[in-house]
Homo-oligomer: A and B are copies of this chain.
Amino acid sequence: MKLSKYFPILDWGRHYKAETFFNDGIAAVIVTIMLIPQSLAYALLAGLPPQVGLYASILPLVAYAIFGSSRTLAVGPVAVISLMTAAAAGKLATQGSPEYLAVAILLALISGLMLLVMGLFRLGFIANFLSHPVISGFITASGILIAVSQLKHILGVSVSGHNLIEIGQSLIFKLGETNLPTLIIGVISTVFLFWVRGSLKPLLKKLGLSDKLAGIGTRIGPVIAVIVSILVVAGMGLSEQGVKIVGDIPKGLPPLTVPEFDLELWRSLLASALIIAVIGFVESVSVAQTLAAKRRQRIDPDQELIGLGVSNVAAAFSGGYPVTGGFSRSAVNFDAGAETPAAGAFTAIGIAITTLFFTPLIYFLPIAVLAATIIVAVLSLVKIQDIREAWNYSKSDFSAMMATIILTLALGVEAGVVAGVVISVGMFLFRSSRPHYAIVGQVRDTEHFRNVDRHKVITSPRVLSIRMDESLYFANARYLEDAVYEKALQSKDIEHVILMCSAVNHIDLSALESLEAINERLKAANIKFHLSEVKGPVMDRLKRSHFLDELTGQVFLSQIDAVRAIVGNAHGSELEYHL
């Protein structure tokens, strides 16, 4: 029982059948074909040699097959994590240097270890502090940033920078150096890939393919661009005319790499590795949950942390760089009929065979085509309707989203995501520090109490009932005091104040001191202070303090009990109607 919790493979592996093997195998072939250009492209995006992308698609997949809890998630290099790797490694080394590769490998190791620790200590909840608007804004901005950063390969110029301003300026300066054959290849392949994405699926369906098959056909469209462009470049000798090509890729399986153990280097990578770990986890888990829900399966987020952690450690020891579960490859894996994580292991075998035998075939593959596949892939991440939805629903969610987008574009990925988290948490704290509260009265012919400003309710001039809509804690303790004083001292008729605690989920020591102050102050004004609807856990805690001994009034189980005890059942002259 316990062992299969940490090794999900023991669970599904026990019932593995020939039919499952066949389905997983088919899916693996399709994913392998799609993964080859994608792995090369994302390595390019990360500023790494192309083979590193392939290496990152071998051992990590095997590791995930053993430890992952999702049946259909496909791990490997993904766009956003590649961009973040480039940003983090670029701070410490120059692209193309052995140090740069060493840093990328180390990032995989550190973020992998962090994920593992988070999984073992069940700290997956940390990822919950990335709100949906922040994630959505971050992904949108990253998509724009990635697309713009790849324009240099379409133009055939060299450009540097980690944010929109740097990249944009650099691009404009270099426009004059554009390489024409590269531009032509880049533009044609971009247009072709957009067409594939937008129009191929309907066409294939018209030709009689099923929805699934048409979807898979569309996903491996880039392979066609790859094959055609290799033939064109090789046949026309375009690489001598300045068209940059992938070139020599060392044949053979990934090398065993031992990450560096330089304490200073580790320390300087901790923050970046944490952000990569958390963003990678969030992206992966949301893909895994979406796919699991379609087949009524469940994933275990803590086990996902372990699975992704081991995958990244595996990447670090086999010449790879940070990996996570990717959306497009997982969707293809799912649609192609993968049933178990074994499909991932089979894909790893497919990629391994490619690195062993087929790398010479992509010698002439133009970098511009890889850039085009990246651009087309990431622009689908840019979701303008998410921004509109956030605007409609909540201005604070919208602000967090826009701040994340703007800061990611202006300052880079790490600053953007940190700012997004700080803003969302800050807004939550700010809101809870000035909570909504309502003066409540009894809804006629019920025992229900609601806001006097919104409902037709009965109140008594002698009794003030305040419902405070927030847990009482240090940040709103003073606000609570001010609110009660303002309302309680405005009329001389008031003899009783009832604090209705139905929405109070916690009272901390600071708030307890405020309650004591309120009790004292009201006592001096000859007003009794009562509580109603105090929740069990809150009451348990109050009983451990002196507050209940000093309270001038009582604690009532329900608001109606409180009002009945104070006013009596006399719905007579004393009661007023609101609204």
Contacts and interface: CB of A to CB of B under 8 A. Distances in A.
A125 B436 contact: no
A431 B471 CA distance: 11
Contacts of A97: none
A22 interface: no
Contact of A451 (B125, B133, B536): B536
Contacts of A536: 438, 451, 454
Interface string A493-510: 000000000111110111
Given A451-B536, A512-B393, A544-B393, A129 B560 contact: no
Contacts of A448: 447, 557-558, 560
A477 interface: yes
Contacts of A435: 505
A483 to B, nearest CB: 13
Contacts of A425: 429
B128 A509 contact: no
Contact of A436 (B293, B451, B477, B537): B537
A569 interface: no
A394 interface: yes
A389 B450 CA distance: 36
Interface in A365-401: 389-390, 392-394, 396-397
A433 interface: yes
A549 B560 CA distance: 33
A131 B474 CA distance: 5
A364 interface: no
A478 interface: yes
A559 to B, nearest CB: 9
A475 B428 contact: yes
Contact of A475 (B129, B293, B438): B129
Interface string A400-442: 0000000000000000000000001100111111111010000
Given A429-B425, A433-B128, A545-B392, A397 B508 contact: yes
A535 interface: yes
Contact of A446 (B128, B475, B517, B560): B560
Interface string A432-474: 1111101000010011101100100000000000000111011
A278 to B, nearest CB: 13
B128 A479 contact: yes
Contact of A505 (B125, B470, B473): B470
Contacts of A517: 293
A132 interface: yes
A545 to B, nearest CB: 5
Given A509-B131, A510-B133, A544 B125 contact: no
A130 interface: yes
A125 B428 contact: no
A440 to B, nearest CB: 11
Given A128-B474, A132-B513, A435-B505, 16 more contacts: A128-B477, A128-B478, A132-B509, A133-B509, A134-B474, A293-B517, A293-B521, A393-B512, A394-B509, A397-B508, A428-B474, A431-B506, A436-B505, A436-B537, A451-B535, A469-B535
13 contacts: A125-B475, A134-B474, A296-B524, A393-B541, A394-B541, A436-B537, A443-B557, A443-B558, A446-B447, A446-B558, A470-B471, A502-B503, A503-B503
Which 10 pairs show the lowest CB-CB distances between chains A and B? Answer: A131-B474, A132-B510, A447-B447, A469-B505, A397-B509, A448-B558, A503-B503, A502-B502, A454-B536, A131-B510
